[in-house]
A and B are shown apart, each in its own frame.
Chain A
Amino acid sequence: MSGPPSPSPARWFKALRRTRLGEPCLKTYPLECVDLLKRARVAFQAGRTLKEVFRLGQLEAVVRMLEEHECDFVDALGRDLHKPRFETIVSELILVKNEALYAINNLKKWMQPQHVERNLSTTLDECLVVSEPLGVVFIMGTWCSPVQMCLVPLVGAIAAGNCAFISPSVSTAHTAELLHRLIPFYLDNECFHVILAGTNDLPEVVELKFDHVFFTGNREEGSRIAQAAARTLTPVTLILGGKNPCYVDQHCEVATTAQRIAWARFHNAGQSLVAPDYILCHTDVKARLVQALKCSLMQFYGSDPRESRSYGRMVNLELFNRTRDLLWRSGKVAVGGQVIEAEKYIAPTILTEVVEQDPIMQQDVFGPVLPVLTVDNMDEAIAFINKQEKPLCVYAYSSNSKVISRLMSETSSGSFCSNDSVLQSLMVALPFGGVGASGMGSYHGRHSFDTFSHRKSCLLRSTRFECVTYLRYPPYEDRNLSLMTWASTLSQKSQGWCQIL
Chain B
Amino acid sequence: MDTQNQVVDRLRSVFRSGITIPEQFRRAQLTQLMSMIKDNEELILNALHKDLAKPKFEAILSEVDIVINDLHYAINNLSSWMKPEYASKNLATKLDDCFIRREPLGVVLIIGAWNYPLQLLLLPLVGAIAAGNCAVIKPSEVSAATDRLIAELVPKYLSQDCYAVVSGGPEETKALLQNRFDHIFYTGSQAVARSILQAASVHLTPVTLELGGKCPCIIYGRVSIPDAARRLVWAKFFNGGQSCVAPDYVLCSQATCDALLPALRKVLEDFYTKEPQSSSDFSRIVSPRHWTRLMELLGKSSGKVVLGGESNQEDKYIAPTVVVDVAEDDALMQEEIFGPILPIITVESLEKGIEFVNRKEKPLALYVFSDESSVINTVLENTSSGGFCSNDGIVHMTLPSMPFGGVGASGWGSYHGRWGFEAFSHRRACMLRGWALERLNALRYPPYTEEKLSWLRWTTSAKSSCSLM
Contacts and interface: CB of A to CB of B under 8 A. Distances in A.
A432 B448 CA distance: 27
A428 interface: yes
Contacts of B429: 414-416, 424-425, 427, 430-432
A116 interface: yes
A431 B467 contact: no
Contacts of A111: none
Given A116-B399, A256-B435, A227 B389 contact: no
A289 B172 CA distance: 53
Interface string B51-69: 0000111101100011001
Contacts of B408: 134-135, 211
A150 B155 CA distance: 49
B220 to A, nearest CB: 13
Interface centre among A130, A435, A457, A484 (most CB of B within 10 A): A457
Interface in B393-450: 394-404, 407-409, 412, 414, 426-435, 438, 441-442, 444-449
Interface residues of A, number: 117
B460 A427 contact: no
A12 interface: no
A436 interface: yes
Given A427-B93, A435-B426, A496-B76, A86 B453 contact: yes
A4 B449 CA distance: 32
Interface string A453-480: 0111111111110100100111111001
B309 interface: no
Contacts of A222: 204
A386 B198 contact: no
B194 A223 contact: no
Contacts of A45: 358
A415 B435 CA distance: 20
Contact of B435 (A238, A253, A440): A253
B104 to A, nearest CB: 9
Contacts of A33: none
Contacts of A440: 204, 206
Interface stretch (A175-183, A306-314, A334-342): A306-314
B189 to A, nearest CB: 11
Contacts of B204: 219, 222-223, 226, 238, 240, 436-437, 439-440
A497 B432 contact: no
A387 to B, nearest CB: 11
Contacts of A433: 427
Contacts of A415: 428-431
Interface in B87-117: 87-90, 93, 98, 100-101, 103, 105-106
What size tier do the contact residues of chain B reach?
A: 35 or more
Contacts of B463: 101, 105
A226 to B, nearest CB: 4
A179 B202 CA distance: 32
Contacts of B87: 427, 429-430
A461 B279 contact: no
Nearest to A103: B465
A259 B438 contact: yes
A499 interface: yes
Interface stretch (B226-234, B254-262, B297-305, B339-347): B226-234
Contact of B432 (A101, A309, A404, A428): A404
Contacts of A463: 223-224, 227-228, 231, 369, 371, 391
Interface stretch (B140-148, B156-164, B310-318, B379-387): B379-387
Contacts of B430: 408, 415-417, 424
Interface majority SS (helix, strand, loop, mixed), chain B: mixed
A260 B16 CA distance: 32
A475 B233 CA distance: 13
A501 B431 CA distance: 44
B19 interface: no
A223 B202 contact: yes
Interface string A127-139: 1011010110000
B48 to A, nearest CB: 14
B390 A460 contact: yes
A145 to B, nearest CB: 13
B453 A492 contact: no
Interface string A208-224: 00010000000100110
Contacts of A458: 380, 387-390, 396
Nearest to B443: A90
Contacts of A332: none
A116 B453 contact: no
Contacts of B290: none
Interface in A53-95: 84-87, 89-91, 94-95
A309 B448 contact: yes
A302 interface: yes
B447 A300 contact: yes
A323 to B, nearest CB: 20
A419 interface: yes
A185 interface: no
Given A415-B429, A458-B387, A459-B392, 13 more contacts: A95-B467, A122-B395, A428-B467, A430-B98, A456-B388, A461-B390, A461-B391, A461-B395, A463-B231, A464-B227, A497-B73, A497-B400, A501-B61
20 contacts: A47-B382, A86-B448, A101-B463, A129-B403, A211-B408, A240-B204, A267-B446, A309-B447, A309-B448, A415-B428, A416-B429, A417-B432, A427-B89, A427-B429, A455-B414, A459-B387, A460-B389, A474-B272, A474-B279, A488-B69
7 closest Cβ contacts across the A-B interface?
A86-B448, A476-B57, A310-B446, A496-B76, A230-B197, A459-B396, A226-B201
Interface of A: 45, 47, 84-87, 89-91, 94-95, 97-99, 101-102, 105, 116-119, 122, 127, 129-130, 132, 134-135, 211, 219, 222-223, 226-227, 229-231, 233, 235, 238, 240, 253, 256, 259-260, 263, 267, 299-302, 308-311, 386, 399, 404, 408, 410, 412-420, 423-433, 435-437, 439-442, 454-464, 466, 469, 472-477, 480-481, 484-485, 488, 492, 496-499, 501
